[in-house]
Structure 1
Amino acid sequence: MAQTLDDLPPRAALAEIARDFHARGWMAGTAGNLSARADDGHFWITASGMPKGRLDELDFLLVRVKDGEVVERVRPENKPSAETAIHRAIYALFPAARACLHGHVVTAAIAADRAKKGAKSLRLPAIEMIKGFDIWQQNPKVDLPLFENHLDVAKIARDIDARFKKTKPAVTALMVRAHGPTIWGASLQQAYNRFEILEYLLRYQAQARAR
């Protein structure tokens, strides 16, 4: 039995994450997308329109980071996720990133809705769990980058690229309004852990404000 997600082949690990996220309500229906970097400048990403609770290892395509070209697909009918451009941007910006996970989390969407119009970030609560992002300061002031949603996903990717080329984020995560969080990590397990941590932080924040 695998001890961590990194003990599994990448596509098997991504399928396991998809089932887990679906069960938690973070990837309802066909929403969300997951990827893992492969060797030689490529990454595996979920096929578009697939129910995330039923993915298997054949439901992924191999995409080139440089230009977004599909270099391998097991099922001829499979098309890459609409958000492939965002994953490409993350892998190009952060060479150490080995996995990138995007889901639709209710608490995250509500947190973004509460942000002021035009806000560029969300302040995360300075609680113990923030250490999961390797932040060790006492009472840190940590902002989650916030991006506007666009029907043209490539525009979101360009916005991410432009901002992060100027200023690297404090956490390996970002949020798109009315959409959902995207988290990346140096391994599949780290990305998975950090997705859980971000959801916890935003859920804590929502419940603290409701008291």
Structure 2
Amino acid sequence: MSIDPCPTLIAAARQFYQMGWMIGTAGNLSARISDNNFWITGSGCPKNQLTADDFVLMTLNSDKGEFNSTPTQSDSQKRPSAETSIHAAIYSLFPDTQVCYHVHSIENNLVTRFTKSDALPLPPLEMIKGLGIWEENPQVTMPIFTNHSEVSRIASEIYTRFKDTKPQVPALLIRDHGVTVWADSLERASNYLEVVEYIFRYMIASQKVGMEIS
């Protein structure tokens, strides 16, 4: 990514905060600037008040099929997001990925309770096209991962599962926690997030009125 992504990430964070998806300091956004470097929001930063100083530049370290990342700025006063390892896993798995967004909403928490399995069936809505699925009456699921207190364990499980089996859509859920989307551009990442949150709202609404969504 040749341009500085931080102004766009700041604007996105404010938008998501206003929508109730990044309340307080919750959530994290990142953007890759080279094969091995990405900016990510710092830990404990209110998402409606971000500035350029609230980002930490990370170096992606991939060796022997493993992944991790370390802060590039040795003098940085900010700690990277506690969920940086999840972003590192996504960037390691999908080389075309330039952006990774993770937010918490009431809806994306609730839908993880609709199933006890490790994948959530999505309704075959027209909006699915917004995630790159153009089939008629598609049968699509979104992966769900356990919300371990040790975030690196979540990241390892994401890496292990996706290394063997790529997901149908560029999104995953962490049970009772949040959704993560990734894309090859800042604009597309925002679009993906809006689409999945729309789908989650539809699923919640359909449950309220007793509709069949599969």
Do both proteins adopt the same fold according to a TM-score greater than 0.5, normalized to the shorter chain?
yes
Q: Partner amino acid for 2:31?
A: A
User: How far apart are residue 114 of structure 1 and its match?
Assistant: 2.4
Q: Which moved more, 1:61-70 or 1:147-156?
A: 61-70
Identity within the alignment, %: 45
Given candidates 45, 55, 59, the residue that maps to 2:54 is: 59
User: How far apart are residue 209 of structure 1 and its match?
Assistant: 1.6
Question: Is the counterpart of residue 88 in structure 1 residue 88 in structure 2?
Answer: yes
User: How far apart are residue 191 of structure 1 and its match?
Assistant: 0.6
**Which aligned segments of 4 or more residues in structure 1 are displaced greater than 3 angstroms?**
none
Distance in 1 (alpha carbons) for counterparts of 2:123 and 2:200 = 8
Distance in 2 (alpha carbons) for counterparts of 1:33 and 1:124 = 24
Question: Is the counterpart of residue 129 in structure 1 residue 127 in structure 2?
Answer: yes
Q: Is the 8 A contact 1:44 1:61 kept in 2?
A: yes
Distance in 2 (alpha carbons) for counterparts of 1:56 and 1:8 = 17
Question: Is the counterpart of residue 107 in structure 1 residue 102 in structure 2?
Answer: no
User: How far apart are residue 83 of structure 1 and its match?
Assistant: 0.2
Corresponding residue for residue 9 of structure 1: 4
User: How far apart are residue 86 of structure 1 and its match?
Assistant: 0.1
Corresponding residue for residue 49 of structure 1: 44
In structure 1, the gaps of 5 or more residues are 1-5
> TM-score, normalising length from structure 2?
0.92
Corresponding residue for residue 187 of structure 2: 189
User: How far apart are residue 115 of structure 1 and its match?
Assistant: 1.6
Structure 1 residues 7 and 18, CA gap change in structure 2 (3 angstroms) = farther
Cα deviation 1:146-181 (Å, max 9, x = unaligned): 000000000000000000011000000000001100
Q: Is the 8 A contact 1:61 1:73 kept in 2?
A: no
Distance in 1 (alpha carbons) for counterparts of 2:185 and 2:115 = 30
In structure 2, the gaps of 5 or more residues are 62-67, 210-214
Corresponding residue for residue 172 of structure 2: 174
What secondary structure, in the 3-state scheme, does the structure 2 residue paired with 1:169 have? coil
Q: Is the 8 A contact 1:60 1:73 kept in 2?
A: no
What secondary structure, in the 3-state scheme, does the structure 2 residue paired with 1:50 have? coil
Q: Partner amino acid for 2:129?
A: K
Corresponding residue for residue 65 of structure 2: none
Q: Is the 8 A contact 1:174 1:181 kept in 2?
A: yes
Distance in 2 (alpha carbons) for counterparts of 1:125 and 1:73 = 46
User: How far apart are residue 79 of structure 1 and its match?
Assistant: 0.3
Count of residues in correspondence between the two structures? 203
> TM-score, normalising length from structure 1?
0.93
